[in-house]
Chains A and B, each alone.
Chain A
Amino acid sequence: DAGITQSPRHKVTETGTPVTLRCHQTENHRYMYWYRQDPGHGLRLIHYSYGVKDTDKGEVSDGYSVSRSKTEDFLLTLESATSSQTSVYFCAIRVGGTEFLYEQFFGPGTRLTVL
């Protein structure tokens, strides 16, 4: 257990409303990632962070922004939610050290429905 929690676990919202998803880790890992999972697409990287205030875009970043003001929290914001952003969102962290080289541990996910 890498100590990753996501909140909320489920959310239903309406088109055009802002939404923020939170990922929290308890072990001070440097690297954190946000993915979305859609049937037939696997997991696709939205944004990632390599330290406090250090973030970068992934392959499907349009319509999303992130912030990381503390090591333990990585926030994903949908500024104006659209139905195409209905998905399951996973946060992941990468554990450092040669034993866990590039291995990522995943949170339980947030199921977001945009009506």
Chain B
Amino acid sequence: SSELTQDPAVSVALGQTVRITCQGDSLRRYSAGWFQQKPGQAPVLVLYGKNNRPSGIADRFSASTSGDTSSLTITGTQAEDEADYYCNSRDSSGNRVFGGGTKLTVL
């Protein structure tokens, strides 16, 4: 299956560490990408490949994978990190699929 499952909502205290997970069979073979979307804005790629940040993305964002689960970790969460986060991956045919998204609230 190429479906990806994310928790709908996660909260974190300002300055603390938070992990957002993405589960799916395709992640055993293909890496996940992670996108941040703030209200009224287009998604922004924050992590790609095994654990790579595009230029301009803060180094408090990191990725890891274990088995069928990929995780996005934010270390020292800032108020501006409050957003929706989406994972995506691909299947053997090259088709992409998105997870359902996680709404991150910074307390």
Q: Do A and B come from one complex?
A: no
